[in-house]
Amino acid sequence: MEKFKKRVTLMDLALELGLSDRAVSQALNPRESNVKLNPKTVERVQKLAALRNYRRDSRARSMRYGRFYSIGYFEAKRRPHDWPLFGAEAGVYDEASAHGYQITLIRLPAENEGDSIPSVFQEAHLDAMIISHAVNIPEALEKHIAASGFPIIHLNEKNPHNAVYIDDVGGAEAMTSYLISLGNRKIAYLTHATPNSHSHYSNTDRRNGYIKAMRKAGLEPEIIEGSQSQPDAFFEWIDSHKDVEAIVCYNDLAALNLFRLTYRLPLKTPEHLAVTGFGDDIGRHCPIALTTMRNPYYEMGRAAVKMALKLVEESLKTVPSQVFSPELAIRNSTRNRLEPPADAQTKPSGW
């Protein structure tokens, strides 16, 4: 039976090259050394390391520099479809990798696992942690996180320090203003859920941004509470609001659910009803390509890592939060009512 080859060590490379192990280490980790080696020496070391399939010993590196070179990424949600933050994970990974750090993925225990605590909070192998969707974290787990001593950056949470988040008020205001510029006047807002003390900050902020734009334009806001769980209430609402021209949805998923409901009505988008989303999670894949606000998730993930590394490398407790502005992505679910196409259809009889 063929056996695995012995792992090549840094000392093996040093003996073969006739160099000190310190020189080899410096050649393989130029960012971690202030000593300037001859470029030809660096090239020799790196070529031999590639030839011998050398892999760095993270344990030795950790002991030398007093760090684990590992950042935890904690997705604080129990089900994969809860508020997806597409792109952020890639940004976190790419930025960490660029600085020589690894990512440890952490998640909440599944619902049938009770209130068990992820083992990472009882071990010491992380330098910092990035937490996404902290609003979902149970109180018992919050105490373990606070006691862990990890430098923590919150992703998609609205805090003055140690956080990366979206300007949801500005984004919803911009989307509503865009619909108004297209000639829409009867514009409603479809919530994700009734705002309460336990909901994500974006529930309230996007709603407020919509209201701000409507009142600025001298228009009357109209709120539709979440329709996914109460379709009959939505049908009752829209039957009494047949003059509605556009609906601003809390996010892309809410817009998709709205499309499913309007299929049962004699309404077409965008001919009769403009529909918009927020986030650009699934906007391109809706039945009608969705006009939405694109959240820069990838850039947010990279920013979170940079902030975490600043806490670690400068031994800081806090850094100022970074706020990102979403970008308007115009697609097929809206049209300019001020310039109707030649084949424009009026609303069906009775609407």
Any idea which residue has 């001919």 for tokens? 271
Residues 203, 280 within the same domain? yes
Of 50, 65, 80, which marks where a domain is finished?
Answer: 65
Asked whether residue 349 is domain-assigned, the answer is: no
Residues 267 and 211 in one domain: yes
**DSSP H stretches of helix in the chain:** 10-17, 21-28, 39-51, 58-65, 88-98, 139-148, 168-181, 201-216, 231-239, 252-262, 297-313
Residue 200: give the domain boundaries. Answer: 168-294
Tell me, yes or no, whether 49 and 81 share the same domain: no
Same domain membership, residue 41 and residue 109: no
> For residue 105, is it within any domain?
yes
Whether 116 maps to a domain, the answer reads yes
**Residue 190, strand partner residues:** 224, 249
Same domain, 211 and 250: yes
CATH of the domain at 54: 1.10.260
Q: What is the H or E stretch that residue 196 is in?
A: none
Stretches in the chain below the pLDDT threshold 50: 1-4, 80-82, 112, 114, 197
**Does any domain span residue 151?**
yes
| Domain count across the chain | 3
- Regarding whether 261 and 119 lie in a shared domain, the answer is no
Domain harbouring 101, CATH code:
3.40.50.2300
Domain check: are 237 and 281 in the same one?
yes
- Whether 351 maps to a domain, the answer reads no
Tell me whether residue 338 is in a domain.
no
Last residue of a domain, one of 41, 65, 89: 65
CB-based contact 301:90 (threshold 8 Å):
yes
> Are 235 and 264 contained in the same domain?
yes
User: Residue 61 has what pLDDT?
Assistant: 59
On whether both 283 and 177 belong to a single domain, the answer is: yes
Count Cβ atoms within 10 A of the Cβ of residue 266 and give its class: 0-12 exposed, 13-18 middle, 19 or more buried: exposed
Residue 185 shares a structural domain with residue 137: no
Number of C-beta neighbours around residue 126 at 10 A: 22
For 60, the token pair is 């030795």
Give dist(CA 155, CA 136) in Å, integer.
13
In a domain, 2, yes or no: no
Query: In this structure, are 289 and 307 located in the same domain?
Result: no
Asked if residue 345 is part of any domain, the answer here is no
Do 181 and 285 have their domain in common? Answer: yes
Q: CA-to-CA distance for 166 and 279, rounded, in angstroms?
A: 10
pLDDT of residue 230: 79
Which of 65, 80, 96 finishes a domain? 65
User: Which tokens belong to 263?
Assistant: 């299929």
